[in-house]
Structure 1
Amino acid sequence: MTTARTDPGSVLACGEVRTCLLPTRDPLDEATAVRLLRLRTDERVRVSRHPSRQVVSPEVLTGVDCPLPADTGTRVRAVGTVRNRAVLVEGRVLLSSAFFSLAAAGTDRRQPWGHYLVRPGLLVPVGRLPEQTVARGLLLGHRPGQLDIGSIAESLMARISRQHRVLDHDPPLTTVDTRLRWAATRTAPGDPPSVLFTKDGDGLRVVELRLPPDTAPADAAGLCEDLALHDWLLSIVADKLDGLRSGDRSGPGVLGPLVEHLLHLWMPRARVDRVLHPVWEQLDETPGYCRQWKTLTQRIRDQLTLLSLRSHQEVPAPGRQGTIL
């Protein structure tokens, strides 16, 4: 985890995470994954091998100068850069994460670009920032002409997915992509972190966070990447099991790829700042993510055991050879 803390004037962090199954038949090995995520030549790709293999691209910056979404329709212009990175988990699941923090106030006039480039990942409003209005607006989504953080994340995901020399675009599972849009504001000193997690249609998840005042934006983004990964895993496995009847002969074709490619990826909080673990504890309590995952994985094992027993029962016993007279 990064040790850099939030800018002293930063009151808000926001972002969006896109999650998908990497479009290739087999998981990528570490060397190939590093080559895939080498987005810049001046910074190295980071590799973490424990407790699972995770490859993280260098960050790329996108300059923006546009109005921010605001739920009241207030026009709030901001200038600066958005941070964007890709994460590949066990060579199998790809996440594209775009995020930024917002300063509480800026100058009354737009400054030269150099003023903003020395503060990577910070958007500075022109004038005062109506914090709650912008936070709600970012969670609701942008209107034409406003900052579209999701398109920045989607652009990086598309850039990586187009690398045909590495990817064969023949995935072992048919899956849907998900979008996790998040905004984090500060808690009062001493209050624990909190989360409000809702699911909308079309694969959209909306996460409203309250985090300690000194939480680094990169740590908040890391938490949301962890939430996005595990929500995607839970959604895909639940959808595949929906309507699958006990002993269904199509079971092995559905269950086998889940076991081979996804079940071992469930490791919530493995790379989340310990201060932010209470967020996962709340999700474990309500709606019970880990309990649901345990139930689903046990159901898969039971289904495979049942299918195996039935296949043995259906094998005819060797018959006696008749005597030719």
Structure 2
Amino acid sequence: MKHIWGMMAAGAWLALSAPVLADVKTGVDAWQQGDYAKAIREWRPLAQAGDPDAQFNMGQAYKLGRGVQADLSTAIDWYRKATAQGHLRAEDNLGLLMFQQGDRAGAMSYLQRASMRGEPRAQYIVGTALFNGDLVGKDWVRAYALMSRAAASGLAQASTSLTQMDKYIPEDQRRQGLAMAANMDQGKGATFAAADQAPVRAAPASVPTAQLPASTPPAARTAAPAPKPATPRPQVAAATPPRPALPRPSASGGWRVQLGAFGAEANARALWSRLTGKVSGLSAYQPFLVKAGAVTRLQAGPIASSADASRLCIRIKAAGADCMPKKS
């Protein structure tokens, strides 16, 4: 996929770890008040003594250039030290920063683990690599699964890439990928925190987020590598594209999505009203109120294929609602 790697530098957001030790918290408090130099004075001795949260915070400070001169190599060193002690947010950021700095092969093992924890940017990178067969073996089913999860999280680049993948990946492999994505979502659990959030084991206090500076000049990010002749590569624009529309309704489609079952028809109608306000494009579908005894099932359609129904469900689930493809 052309231009796809450079896009990860834009719009990546990072936050400092919340503290476990009181002195780390003192540094976080100072950071929140804009006293970055004091934060560094609090964290540096703790980081040098081996505290993984302080090490992670030092990595963030060197990445953002607050309280210290920005130095991405030093940031990587601090992330690596925290990662060696099992700090998962440090590992996520280590992989992303190594990749942005050009060490794509070295970053891939970290990114693969981050992608399985649910980090959307890592899912985007690993999904792209699996699709193209770059750095890892080609696996279109897993690529589609990871890209689906990244798209469902709201990552615009992933939504665009997923649409391009539809042109190349056979329908049966897309269905397998969607099933794998659903299993990933179920197995992720409620303890996942993205790379730009505080560690699970930390206290709830946090430092405000700041945008990740671009790691390469704009000209380098927009230069397109020559495609490999044997590998079809979807074209992805360097600028962040708009989120693609939902699959279009099909008058002759034999599929629907089921959104819930209710004892009162009014509740089904109320859910439809809420969802059409939250999921852009959903109002283009026809709502069906299917009676089964005392139960009213809310369905939407018609939809052309099971793959389109599954993709629609991913978008609906991302809005916080239940959804299940169903043959009409």
- Higher strand share goes to which structure? 1
Report the TM range for the smaller structure's normalisation: under 0.3
- Relative to the length of structure 1, the TM-score reads 0.26
